């Protein structure tokens, strides 16, 4: 199978590309290598794939509709996995126009390119951010999601609605996967687990916002990629599906787990709560199990231990 992956040089995209190539698929990888974080890091993410004849990389932007349509036709792609996005809740508060342009207009560009090239199977990254501060835990896919707390959350919900429109009008088979705080090797540098690990190993205080009691359903990238691969296999009709880790963990507990993984004590720099952040995320995974046969396999304590080992190997740090 030939699979078109947007955002293929990023954190999740590079892991997905690796899994697909290992499974014998061909991957047409599109990424604009933007400067939201180091383009050099993104190039390193895909460096191991260059020798694989089934890997085809194109540096380009999802908003270039003619380019996307041409690639879909030229390589006879059968499925699109749309991961490219302007990421980050806090970043979206300060740069909402960029967030909406990439995440909404960019998604529309991908959908129109698919229509033009007659490719009708789409797996798309959404986010747990769409749930906002829902009072209902765990979050279910049929919960009301009409009160986003950030431009990023709104952009992801808008992308879901666009995808549904193309399912309705043109018969697209679509799986919108709501990812819950993905972590693991190659994680973006501004995300909490990478930042906390760096601060611990460098002897710096860890910055925590609010009370430290906010909680997240952390998901190892291995499990996230398994959810995407399952969606590629079982995609039919239009579905929204949570993809998450086994349980939720508070910020306090996360820091304690990282202390154990590094063997180092943490000093905390308390800061006010940040705008746009949700208080708690927790996923109901029954639909994922029923429709995609998805079950997360990596506990947070084990994933953090492996992440710290990877981080030390990449950055040359040594625990004392």
With a CB cutoff of 8 Å and minimum separation 6, the contacts of 86 are 36, 92, 95, 98, 99, 101, 102, 103, 152, 155
3-state secondary structure of 150: coil
Tell me if residue 174 falls in helix, strand or coil.
strand
Q: What do you get for the CA distance between the two ends of the chain, in Å?
A: 47
Coil, helix or strand for 14? helix
Catalytic entry in 37, 131, 152, 279: 152
Within the chain, what is the greatest distance between any pair of CA atoms? 60
Query: How buried is 133 (Cβ within 10 angstroms: 0-12 exposed, 13-18 middle, 19+ buried)?
Result: exposed
Which among 110, 124, 120, 38 has a CA at the least distance from the CA of 77? 120
Name 183's bridge partners.
Answer: 220
The reply to whether 209 belongs to the active site is: no
The answer to whether residues 4 and 81 touch, using CB atoms and an 8 Å cutoff, is yes
Q: Apex CA 48: angle with CA 45 and CA 54, to 5°?
A: 110
3-state secondary structure of 139: strand
Helix segments in 75-143, DSSP class H: 89-94, 96-100, 106-117
| 306/188 Cα distance (integer angstroms) | 16
- Phi-psi region for residue 123, left (φ > 0), alpha (ψ -120 to 50) or beta? beta
Task: Just list the catalytic residues.
Answer: 152
């Amino acid at each position: 199978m030939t699979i078109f992956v947007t955002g293929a040089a990023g954190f999740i995209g590079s892991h997905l590309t690796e899994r697909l190539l290992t499974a014998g698929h061909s991957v047409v990888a599109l990424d604009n290598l933007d400067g939201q974080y180091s383009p050099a890091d993104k190039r390193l993410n895909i460096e191991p794939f260059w020798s694989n004849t089934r890997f085809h990389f194109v540096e380009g932007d999802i908003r270039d509709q003619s380019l996307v349509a041409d690639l879909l036709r030229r390589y006879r792609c059968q499925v699109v996995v749309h991961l490219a996005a302007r990421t980050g809740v806090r970043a979206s508060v300060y740069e909402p126009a960029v967030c909406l342009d990439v995440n909404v207009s960019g998604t529309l560009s991908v959908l129109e390119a698919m229509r033009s090239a007659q490719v009708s199977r789409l797996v798309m990254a959404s986010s747990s951010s769409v749930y906002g501060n829902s009072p209902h835990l765990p979050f279910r896919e049929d919960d009301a999601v009409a009160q986003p707390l950030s431009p990023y959350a709104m952009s992801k919900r808008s992308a879901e609605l666009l995808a549904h429109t193309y399912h309705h009008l043109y018969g697209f088979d679509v799986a919108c996967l709501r990812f819950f705080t993905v972590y693991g090797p190659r994680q973006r540098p501004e995300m909490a687990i990478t930042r906390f690990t760096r601060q611990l190993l460098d002897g710096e205080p860890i910055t925590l916002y609010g009370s430290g009691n906010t909680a997240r359903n952390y998901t190892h990238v291995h499990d996230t990629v398994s959810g995407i691969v399952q969606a590629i296999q079982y995609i039919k009709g239009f579905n929204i599906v949570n993809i998450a880790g086994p349980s939720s963990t508070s910020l306090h507990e996360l820091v304690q787990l990282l202390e154990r993984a590094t063997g180092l004590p943490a000093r905390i720099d308390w800061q006010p709560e940040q705008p746009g952040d949700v208080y708690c995320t927790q996923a109901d995974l029954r639909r994922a199990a029923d429709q995609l046969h998805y079950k997360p396999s990596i506990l947070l304590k084990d994933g953090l231990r492996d992440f710290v080992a990877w981080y030390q190997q990449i950055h040359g740090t040594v625990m004392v």
